[in-house]
């Protein structure tokens, strides 16, 4: 079984292609970014301390960056979990909080991905509170 860090560093490239069918709020034919976990990780690292961004905004900004109209919400959710789990895995190995990917700047108490985290929503809420972000 792969570690979260191994999943984060999967070498497969991102894809930009037309949406094949209407799905998950996307329309057939729209140009869609299927990101990688590393792309999501790198983007989250650009969000400054004390600032946050919701998932729809993250998806819209990633789409623009990669010359797409939309970003796949399904893979984005999966990759958000991988980013958070890998960051927390690193922290548990001794990496300071200031050096891990600040996933709490995107995930909050209402984000469905938060409920799936192995380490629980309390960590997300505590990290958000520490930066003065709403729960």
- pLDDT digits 0-9 by tens, 46-92: 999 999 999 999 999 999 999 999 999 999 999 999 999 999 999 99
5 pLDDT higher than 90 = yes
Average pLDDT over residues 115-119: 96
Predicted TM-score of the model (pTM) = 0.95
- What per-residue confidence (pLDDT) applies to 128? 97
3-class DSSP assignment, residue 27: coil
Residue 10 exposure: Cα atoms within 13 Å on the Cβ side: 18
**CB neighbours of residue 111 within 10 Å:** 18
Residue indicated by tokens 């999501």: 40
- Distance (Å, whole) CA 45 – CA 43: 5
∠ Cα 49 50 53 (to 5°): 95
Percent of the chain with pLDDT over 70: 100
- Identify the H or E element spanning 23: none
């Amino acid at each position: 079984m792969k570690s979260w860090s191994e999943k984060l560093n999967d070498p497969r490239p991102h894809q930009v292609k037309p949406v094949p069918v209407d799905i998950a709020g996307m329309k057939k034919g729209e140009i869609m970014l299927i990101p990688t976990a590393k792309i999501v990780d790198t983007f989250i690292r650009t969000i400054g301390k004390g600032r946050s961004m919701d998932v729809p905004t993250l998806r819209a900004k990633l789409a623009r960056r990669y010359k797409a109209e939309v970003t796949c919400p399904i893979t984005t959710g999966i990759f958000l979990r991988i980013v958070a789990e890998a960051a927390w895995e690193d922290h548990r190995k001794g990496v300071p909080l200031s050096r891990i990917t600040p996933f709490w700047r995107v995930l909050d108490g209402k984000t469905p991905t938060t409920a799936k985290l192995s380490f629980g929503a309390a960590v997300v809420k505590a990290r958000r509170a520490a930066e003065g972000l709403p729960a």
